[in-house]
A and B are shown apart, each in its own frame.
Chain A
Amino acid sequence: MITLEKVSFTYRSGQRALQEIDLNLEGGDFIAIMGENGAGKTTLAKHLNGLLKPSQGRVLVDGEDTRKVSVARLSRKVGLVFQNPDHLLFSETVKDEVAFGLKNFGFAPEVVHNQVMRTLEALGLSEYAETSPFLLSGGERKRVALAAILATEPDYLILDEPTIGQDYQQKERLRNFILQLYSQGKAVVMITHDVEFVAESNPKVILLSQGRIVAQGPADSVLSKDELVKKASLVRPQMSRLFGELTKYGLPSDVVDVHRARILLEEKLSEAKVRVAQNS
């Protein structure tokens, strides 16, 4: 379990980036941290594996205070995938890239090899094992970066803006992969401002604005509240805006994903159809 207790953080420049954040994270959790550009999302992520230490309050990872443990040791449990793969890819081949973390953590060579192959397989990257990561497309590089972290099998996986610049198909693949991970009992945290992506994945949402948590709860209830969503410089998902217009027909207002919308409307429209048939 990762616990944040009243965590505040101020950069050396004097910029206050986090204020009194309380948060719990455990296996099987699936959380989306959302908020405007500059809300403090990346700063928060860097607290989870000890890259940044709180100015006030504390962060406990499985009971250990991040101030007292090395980043390397925390990173075995907490995998942090950075937004831009260019910031971490450096190896000659994809295989070496994925092996880097495992070697740093001191795994035996045959374990490293097996683990690398398994991870590449899981992410559909096997055919690129011997390719240079720099010859791959942007989407593929993002997947290599993800593989590099996943290979060490962290219990907590933190993804910083995984959907940026991705097309719809790439996002779908990512979503399926995330769902698979958290059904295996891992804790997955994704940082994003992609409301439609969150609406369809249905995680627990934490809204961050100007360094504070302004709301948390299930995606459908948080993302359908106009005031909250505005505060974090987001927009409501299309389904929520649609159902907001339709409440007077007895439809709920907290609908955010297409599938639930479809079921609700099928019912309503069938009723209307029957009415029309009876009347004529």
Chain B
Amino acid sequence: MSLRTLEGFKFSTLKTPVHLLDPRTKFLLVIAVLVPALLFANIYVMIALLLSQVPLLFVGKVARRWALSLRAGVFLSALIFVVNLFTGSYLSAIALTLRFLVLLTSFSLFFMTTSPDDLGLALDRIGAVRWLSRRWLGYPNALSFTFTTAVRLVPTLAVDAQTVVDAQRSRGLELDKGNLLKRVRNYIPILIPLLLIAIRRSLELAEALESRGFPGKEGRTSLFQLKLRPVDYSIIAVSLAIIGISFWVYFHYKIPVL
């Protein structure tokens, strides 16, 4: 199940209008969903927020994978619902469960349609990130690069993990056998090879990086540049408006659960 949840956050190399939006725009859009979702525990607001994202899922061609991640999220939703049922009314339990789904949808939409490369570029545009990166790691692109590389390794390591599990099962390892302590110990033959493989991959990657002249001198350039287009500006405007209105309403009215 864990692998399948990840599916809902994995980037796909499509070129839909949603993919082509600037990552900064999409990030603001996530905030514009996040703010009202966190400010108001109202069922109608949650439903509206959820529905408003559905067209984007379809335009971005990620609806199917979103559904997969939802299926995996069902268990958590149920948990949230039950816990809140004990602490509050059933209405607020519904609202909070919906809030979880809204957040899940919004994050998964963002990650499924935003290339980590673009995200890296966006991070590089932030002065503070460059400054921190230079202070900690010696050169200005290091942080954003670490981020994109980590994202890039996820699918590869997921395949490795599956292979290690298969290899050890072929040696008679039964993961779900024995008492609790035994079960935890069962994971040692999985975790050790996986850890070593991850280290080996990182070393080979570092070697390859070095051979391609990384990090280079100060003036590293970039073939691709982020550019805000008119659509981006209009979405940014709408997002800012939603955020502004949400706060205004929050400070002036009290919104009930239903």
A touches B in complex, CB < 8 A = yes
A: residues with CB less than 8 A from B are: 46, 49, 51, 70-72, 75-76, 79-80, 82, 84, 86-90, 100-101, 104-105, 134, 148-149, 152
The CB with the most chain B CB atoms within 10 A, among A46, A90, A101, is that of A90
Per CB-CB distance, the 5 closest pairs between chain A and chain B, nearest first, are A104-B172, A90-B192, A88-B167, A101-B171, A80-B170
What chain B residues lie within 8 Å of A100 (beta carbons)? 171-173, 189
How many chain B residues have a CB neighbour from A under 8 Å? 19
Residues 169 to 213 of chain B near chain A (Cβ within 8 Å): 169-174, 188-189, 192-193, 196-197, 200
CA distance A46 to B170 in the complex (A): 9
A87-B160 contact given A100-B189, A134-B196, CB 8 Å threshold: yes
| Shortest distance between the CB of A105 and any CB in chain B (Å) | 5
Task: Please pick, from B172, B192, B196, the residue contacting A101 in the complex, using a CB distance under 8 A.
Answer: B172
Q: Cβ of A90 and Cβ of B189 under 8 Å apart?
A: yes
What chain A residues lie within 8 Å of B16 (beta carbons)? none
| Shortest distance between the CB of B7 and any CB in chain A (Å) | 9
Q: Cβ of B197 and Cβ of A105 under 8 Å apart?
A: no
B: residues with CB less than 8 A from A are: 160, 163-164, 166-174, 188-189, 192-193, 196-197, 200
What chain A residues lie within 8 Å of B189 (beta carbons)? 88, 90, 100
A87-B197 contact given A46-B166, A82-B163, A82-B166, CB 8 Å threshold: yes
Q: Cβ of B197 and Cβ of A51 under 8 Å apart?
A: no
Beta-carbon nearest neighbor of B189 in chain A: A90
Q: Cβ of B188 and Cβ of A51 under 8 Å apart?
A: no
Q: Cβ of A88 and Cβ of B193 under 8 Å apart?
A: yes
Q: Cβ of A71 and Cβ of B170 under 8 Å apart?
A: yes
What chain A residues lie within 8 Å of B164 (beta carbons)? 87-88
What chain B residues lie within 8 Å of A101 (beta carbons)? 171-172
| Shortest distance between the CB of B180 and any CB in chain A (Å) | 19
Main secondary structure of the interface of B (DSSP, over half): helix
| Shortest distance between the CB of A191 and any CB in chain B (Å) | 14
Q: Cβ of B188 and Cβ of A152 under 8 Å apart?
A: no
A-B contact pairs, 22 of them (CB 8 A): A46-B166, A51-B166, A51-B169, A72-B169, A72-B172, A72-B173, A72-B174, A75-B169, A76-B172, A82-B163, A82-B167, A87-B197, A88-B167, A88-B168, A88-B171, A88-B193, A90-B189, A90-B193, A100-B171, A100-B189, A105-B172, A152-B172
CA distance A148 to B189 in the complex (A): 13
CA distance A101 to B172 in the complex (A): 6
Beta-carbon nearest neighbor of B161 in chain A: A87
Beta-carbon nearest neighbor of B3 in chain A: A12
The CB with the most chain A CB atoms within 10 A, among B171, B173, B193, is that of B171
What chain B residues lie within 8 Å of A88 (beta carbons)? 164, 167-168, 171, 189, 193
CA distance A71 to B170 in the complex (A): 7
| Shortest distance between the CB of A41 and any CB in chain B (Å) | 14
Beta-carbon nearest neighbor of B164 in chain A: A87
A87-B167 contact given A104-B174, A134-B196, CB 8 Å threshold: yes
| Shortest distance between the CB of B62 and any CB in chain A (Å) | 15
CA distance A104 to B193 in the complex (A): 18
| Shortest distance between the CB of A254 and any CB in chain B (Å) | 36
| Shortest distance between the CB of B68 and any CB in chain A (Å) | 9
| Shortest distance between the CB of B51 and any CB in chain A (Å) | 28
A82-B170 contact given A87-B160, A87-B164, A87-B197, CB 8 Å threshold: yes
Task: Please pick, from A71, A76, A134, the residue contacting B169 in the complex, using a CB distance under 8 A.
Answer: A71
CA distance A105 to B172 in the complex (A): 6
What chain A residues lie within 8 Å of B169 (beta carbons)? 51, 71-72, 75
Q: Cβ of A149 and Cβ of B171 under 8 Å apart?
A: yes
What chain A residues lie within 8 Å of B163 (beta carbons)? 82, 84, 87
What chain A residues lie within 8 Å of B167 (beta carbons)? 82, 87-88
CA distance A80 to B171 in the complex (A): 8
CA distance A51 to B173 in the complex (A): 12
Q: Cβ of A90 and Cβ of B188 under 8 Å apart?
A: yes
CA distance A89 to B194 in the complex (A): 10
What chain A residues lie within 8 Å of B174 (beta carbons)? 70, 72, 104
What chain B residues lie within 8 Å of A84 (beta carbons)? 163
What chain B residues lie within 8 Å of A72 (beta carbons)? 169, 172-174
The CB with the most chain A CB atoms within 10 A, among B160, B172, B196, is that of B172
CA distance A148 to B171 in the complex (A): 8
